[in-house]
């Protein structure tokens, strides 16, 4: 019965459609980006490094495809950092008391960031090595 009531409630909520939905999603994304810039030190550091490396990559004598590969490897780091921050915020919302599964979720999010950084370093290393 409880699931049915939840379903009924969801069906009565009007969802935005078309361009309004896209516009509102964009506004939400901007709010998230502003929050990360103001509150998340790791995101701030990664963003600065990524901006500097992106500018540096413009001076490399590489093909457009390789340039895209370098930029995408950097954007992957930001993407994973955003997901990691979302995991941390969700865990903190659930409760601040120590729980082994909460710690594991945060550790795995951190590992994902580390792996994305390793991918970016390897990608940049190979491209720069071949220069």
Catalytic residue among 8, 46, 81, 130: 81
Cβ(83)–Cβ(112) under 8 Å?
yes
* Extended strands (E) in 26-99: none
Residue 46 bears catalytic tag:
no
Which residues lie below 8 Å from residue 79, measured CB to CB, with a gap of 6+? Answer: 116
Q: How many CB atoms lie within 10 A of CB 124?
A: 17
Cα–Cα nearest to 116, from 65, 79, 67: 79
Q: How many CB atoms lie within 10 A of CB 70?
A: 20
| Residues annotated as catalytic (active site), given as ranges | 81
């Amino acid at each position: 019965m409880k699931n049915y009531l939840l379903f009924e409630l969801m069906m009565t909520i009007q969802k935005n459609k078309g361009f309004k939905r896209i516009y509102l999603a964009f506004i939400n994304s901007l709010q998230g980006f502003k929050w990360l810039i103001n509150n998340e030190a790791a995101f701030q550091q990664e963003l600065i490094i990524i901006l500097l490396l992106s500018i540096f990559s413009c001076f490399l004598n590489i093909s457009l495809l390789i340039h895209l590969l370098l930029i995408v490897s950097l954007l992957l780091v930001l993407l994973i950092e955003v997901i990691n921050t979302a995991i941390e915020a969700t865990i903190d919302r659930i409760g601040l008391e120590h729980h082994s599964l909460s710690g594991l979720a945060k550790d795995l999010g951190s590992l994902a960031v580390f792996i994305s950084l390793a991918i970016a370093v390897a990608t940049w290393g190979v491209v720069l090595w071949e220069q």
